[in-house]
Amino acid sequence: MGFVLNETAGQTISEQTKKRVLDEARRLGYRPHTAARALASGRSRIVLAVLPDWPLDFSLRRHLEEASLVLDEAGYSFITYTAHPTGQARPLWETLAPDVVLSVTGRFTSEQIASLRAAGIPAIVPNPDDLGAEEYPEEGPLLQMTHLESLGHRRVAFAESADSRIADLVATRRARAEGAAKVLQLAPPLTLSVSLDPGSAESALDEMLRRGITAVAAYNDDVAVALVGAALRRRLDVPQDLSVVGHDDAPVAAILEPQLSTVRVDTAGLGRYIAALALSAAEGAAAPSMPPETRAELVARASTGPAPKR
């Protein structure tokens, strides 16, 4: 019976006997002992994804959902673990013994690498020894700025998230927006920090209007929606008085009135890419190249229009 249930190679058990054993196992509700199997095979078939201490927004949720589905189809359990700055809890990789530990942000700290190696983790993604690891390009800010410039806007703002947990991501997009403005020969974008409350968005809006800003590129759709809401409360017209473009193409972008122009990234494609990286590390196969469907595209909707004549 054990040979059948464990799929032991090199046995001469007939197909009829195998079927009887499996039918009886199902009747009895037999399930293999995962820990025992892992001990015998040296593999747990677990992929542990280390998440940063970020808000779990639409984009990140879609990455994780798709990665989990792909890994499940390949026979792997997908478990997430958030590394908090306090670092008081014991890292989950020390107790789970996963086959792969993957950083969703594409990097581990030197302390984490030391802990992973001390725990004997067989595969770490990205490989700490690979100094040339590819990073996902941030194309969104360039698309936002190019779209606004094509509509005649010359004075543009970049509205960033005030959430300190994503300061690095915000800084990357801000730098790309500033670089794009320079290439397009626009004035340096006015940078304003917006938290998701009405007062913050209205203060940012007042400053933009005082500075003669006619359009704003937002860090994400949440920030963009906050600014559109503030503008509508002030009886301003979007986009005649102010054009707003978001980032991520979250569901709210298509149901907002006016519908929100935004940057669409195939978040499901990125999730599949993450899963493919984990599977290649687990199976010792070549890592996949970045799939073409992860490229960003600008989705033009009603929240952006020609610059007002002032």
pLDDT tens digits, 43-60: 789 999 999 888 888 888
**Do the beta carbons of residue 177 and residue 140 sit within 8 Å?**
no
pLDDT score of 74? 94
pLDDT score of 24? 66
Task: List the helix and strand counts (H, then E) for the chain.
Answer: 12, 10
pLDDT score of 78? 96
pLDDT score of 248? 93
**Do the beta carbons of residue 247 and residue 221 sit within 8 Å?**
yes
pLDDT score of 106? 77
Structural domains in the chain, sorted by start? 1-31 (no CATH), 42-135+270-292 (3.40.50.2300), 140-264 (3.40.50.2300)
Stretches where the chain sits below pLDDT 50 are 2, 4-5, 8, 33-41
At residue 184, the 3 state secondary structure works out as coil
Closest to 247 measured CA to CA, from 215, 231, 223, 269: 223
pLDDT score of 222? 95
At residue 134, the 3 state secondary structure works out as coil
List of residues 6+ apart from 217 with CB closer than 8 A: 141, 144, 145, 148, 156, 157, 158, 159, 177, 189, 245, 247
Mean pLDDT of the chain: 87
pLDDT tens digits, 242-279: 999 999 999 999 999 999 999 998 888 889 999 999 99
